[in-house]
Amino acid sequence: MEIQALLGLTLAFLFFSGYLTLLLTCVGAHSVTFTLTNKCSYIVWPGTLTGGGGAQLTSSDFELDTGASTTLDVPATWSGRMFARTQCSTDSTGKFSCCMQGAGAIPPASLVEFTLSGSGGNDFYDVSLVDGFNLPLSITPQGAASCQSTSCPGNVNSVCLPELAVKGPDGSVIACKSACLALNQPQYCCTGAFSTPATCPPTNYSMLFKNQCPQAYSYVYDDKTSTFTCPTGANYLITFCP
């Protein structure tokens, strides 16, 4: 009888373990893989910033040579942004620094932004130039044929106005600030009396970005043409200089 009871408990445990595994699979207990590819003619240093007070990813501040790719596995409910910096180096003390963007995507920086749903819903993603532009980039969903890619393929630096331009040591434009960042006025930052979509329409400055990158956020309320969704389960390819 004791043997039969023990056997029954063992079978019950195995059944429960199998059921739990199936349940976790069904509710989306998985990670999402981001593949980061550098097609720029120069080295970039990708970075990540987790939003909502979540734990930061351990993989950041790494070098990505021209033509190279790397992968990052993130939690299925991750929310945050990714970007790439240029002209970075490590000094004799081991301190990492960049000519432009810092560890937290200090603007101006081109961004890709994600809110992953985890299970049974949609992921949300976009390319954002709200914080300015430093290089072209794109998002391509993988493993989900019905999901749309989005990108900023244009070189905003080539048409950047003097009052927005950030120049490198050689005098060339290496980044373009948003009007909000450069001028800090309510009509460009959508604050104060301009804090709603009705009172904060596109400006000549935001249209400079929009004309180069029609799918990207050009300012805060640029939602209609710039937010994309994909059912849970997709992975994503991030390409710098697509």
Residue 131 domain-assigned? yes
Q: Is residue 26 part of a domain?
A: no
When divided into structural domains, the chain yields a total of 1
Whether 28 is in a domain gets the answer no
Give Cα 229 to chain centroid, integer Å: 14
Q: Is residue 4 part of a domain?
A: no
| 205 SS3 class | helix
CA–CA gap between residue 43 and residue 45 (Å, rounded): 7
DSSP 128: E
Cα–Cα distance list, 99 to 32, 166, 167, 169 (Å): 31, 11, 10, 9
pLDDT at 76: 92
- Establish whether the linkage from the previous residue to 108 is cis, with ω within 30° of 0: yes
- Residue-number span of the structural domain to which 176 is assigned: 33-50+60-240
76 assigned to some structural domain = yes
Strand order in the sheet with 31-38: 69-75, 31-38, 235-240, 137-142, 150-152
72: domain CATH number is: 2.60.110.10
**17 three-class SS:** helix
Q: What is the per-residue pLDDT for 86?
A: 85
What pTM, to 2 d.p., does this model score?
Answer: 0.83
Q: Residue 200 and residue 222: Cα distance in Å, rounded?
A: 10
Give me the average pLDDT of each 10-residue run along the chain (242 residues): 44 39 44 96 92 78 90 93 84 68 69 91 95 96 91 96 92 94 96 97 97 96 93 95 96
Whether 227 is in a domain gets the answer yes
Domain membership of residue 18 (yes or no) is no
Residue 213 lies in a domain: yes
Contact 105, 211 (CB under 8 A): no
Model pLDDT, residue 216: 97
C-alpha closest to that of 211 among 175, 158, 163, 174: 158
